[in-house]
A and B are shown apart, each in its own frame.
Chain A
Amino acid sequence: MEHFIQAENFNKIAPFKTLFLQGTAVTVLLALCTVAIGFVLALLLSTMRLSKCYPFAFLGTDREGRLRDGGILRAVSRFNPLSFIATAYVEILRSTPVLVQVFIIYYGVFGALVTLPKFTFFGFIKFERYFPGVVALGMNSGAYLCEIIRSGIQSIDGGQTEAARSLGMTQLQNFRFIILPQAIKNILPAIANEFVVIIKESAITYTIGVQDIMSAVNAVRGATFIIIEPLLVATAIYFCLCFPTSKLIAYFERRMSRGDKR
């Protein structure tokens, strides 16, 4: 314990350079796939959450076709099953640890229910471990991205919708021409931020054997009994991935707000 960090240890772990490089590639690929899956999922979920699907709406109007004033039928008529399902999904995924979700997907879904083909792609990525990791992280970030998109859409002033509707535009036209263009501008930075979060969060997939950067750290420790130095290397790699990304985001954020001419 005389030295916390020993320079010669870096020399000792140098032969494991390719492991770290491969780990970095896995992490980046993992993050990209996760954002892609998460984004598609989030679009679907936020559409469901904001949908106006009221299958029991007919219960809310009386024979004259006029809205009832309260009562149980009025309450039932306001039930939106699509929104309910999406909200339940988002709340469950946001209120449980990612680690648990990754394990359930890996050991539960792809361990017991679905058998994945075992093969290796790019020469070093094991599909049967990589795929469940992507699915689990994608499902998780889908829930968070859904909330980003939903709040982005809902943050647009209600007056905008009123103006559009009073001009005779349909709900869909209002969404397409008025709400969405303004919402996208608001949520792009948050989505890019989520990407940075995912890069860091993807480290958790090492627990199911995805050979990312953390897995490289573990392999080096197993082979050389050195732990601090490989961890420092991993820290440096993560930092080099995340810091420039967030700086890039900040740059685009500034550029977009310049368009406001405020």
Chain B
Amino acid sequence: MATNDKLIEVRDLKKYYNKGAIKALDGVTADIYRGDVVVVIGPSGSGKSTFLRSLNLLEEPTGGSIVFGGVDITKKKVRNAEGRMVKLDIDKHRQKMGMVFQHFNLFPHKTILENMTLAPMQVKHMPREEAEKKALALLKRVGLDDRAGAYPIQLSGGQKQRIAIVRALMMEPEVMLFDEPTSALDPEMVGEVLDVMKELAREGMTMVVVTHEMGFAREVGNRVLFMADGKLLEENTPEELFTHPKNPRLQDFLSKVL
């Protein structure tokens, strides 16, 4: 499904803590094309989550650039159409990037339906009726339309994560970012979440997925990035990367996880 239409262009991205003593990201360069399913793998502490969270600026990078839809979103100010420097409206860009977290982060004081309709109604000023209709349609797709009135605390982990995915879809994002979406789930619930993600990928959604699910990477990903120590060490198609790993760190990593 991958195209040649470049959606996100990451150049030499750096994230330092303590004035460079800790390098969470040490010059990562990657391109994400429309329709891509990019899977990021690597040992813990390798910076893959930081990389993902930097893409919608939940982490503010120390250096480098992220060009999303033609705009470098790492800069505080951008030149607008008239050539004047204006403040970058990061909220506008975040609307186009859905994000799914390891710990779901559903709003516990709101029902499932309210969780989903809140942002479209407040941010996009969608009428309530339309938002609820859309939400129910999405809930039906993930088989949870009967839980619309429930609170997050009443759901299982897998159900919560499926809700989190459709909540992000409510904003009709151009790219979905998944930050270890199955890591906090009981093993028997991993499948139901991966199924939703697979379906999304089939529909052509651009996805960046940080995960430890190697099976998912192999089956769904069209490109796999291997990160270690804040660096992007290898990038390839899943078949190549898993069967003929070149970097010794990757060979070592794969020998442990596969």
B-binding residues in A (CB < 8 A): 61, 64-67, 69-70, 157, 159-160, 162-170, 173, 177-178, 181-182, 185, 260-262
Q: Does B60 contact A (CB under 8 A)?
A: yes
**Residue among B77, B91, B103, B151 with most chain A CB within 10 A:** B91
| Among listed B116-124, B186-194, B247-255, interface-contacting one | B116-124
Min Cβ gap A122→B in Å is: 42
Known: A177-B122, A185-B109. A65 touches B77 (CB 8 A): yes
Q: Are B77 and A159 in contact (CB under 8 A)?
A: no
Known: A67-B60, A159-B101. A167 touches B107 (CB 8 A): no
Q: Are A169 and B107 in contact (CB under 8 A)?
A: no
Q: Does B99 contact A (CB under 8 A)?
A: yes
**Residue among A65, A170, A178, A185 with most chain B CB within 10 A:** A65
Q: Does B167 contact A (CB under 8 A)?
A: yes
Which B1-60 residues sit within 8 Å CB-CB of chain A?
16, 19-20, 56, 58, 60
Number of A-B contacts (CB under 8 A): 84
Q: Are B60 and A261 in contact (CB under 8 A)?
A: no
Q: Are A169 and B119 in contact (CB under 8 A)?
A: yes
Q: Could you show 15 A-B contacts with beta carbons less than 8 Å apart?
A: A69-B62, A69-B63, A159-B103, A162-B105, A165-B58, A166-B98, A166-B168, A167-B95, A167-B119, A168-B91, A168-B95, A169-B119, A169-B123, A178-B107, A185-B109
Report Cα–Cα, A261/B108, bound state, in Å. Answer: 11
Report Cα–Cα, A247/B151, bound state, in Å. Answer: 29
B-chain residues with CB within 8 Å of residue A163 when the two chains form the complex: 99, 101, 105-107, 164
Task: Name the contact of A168 in the complex, choosing from B16, B103, B171 (C-beta under 8 A).
Answer: B171
B-chain residues with CB within 8 Å of residue A67 when the two chains form the complex: 60, 62, 76
| Nearest B residue to A163, CB-CB | B105
Report Cα–Cα, A185/B107, bound state, in Å. Answer: 14
Q: Are A162 and B77 in contact (CB under 8 A)?
A: no
Q: Are A261 and B118 in contact (CB under 8 A)?
A: no
Known: A167-B119, A167-B167. A159 touches B153 (CB 8 A): no
B-chain residues with CB within 8 Å of residue A64 when the two chains form the complex: 75
Q: Are A262 and B91 in contact (CB under 8 A)?
A: no
Q: Does B94 contact A (CB under 8 A)?
A: yes
Q: Does B228 contact A (CB under 8 A)?
A: no
Q: A69-B62, A165-B91 are in contact. List 12 more A-B contacts (CB 8 A).
A: A65-B77, A69-B16, A159-B103, A159-B105, A162-B58, A164-B119, A166-B97, A167-B118, A167-B168, A168-B171, A181-B109, A185-B109
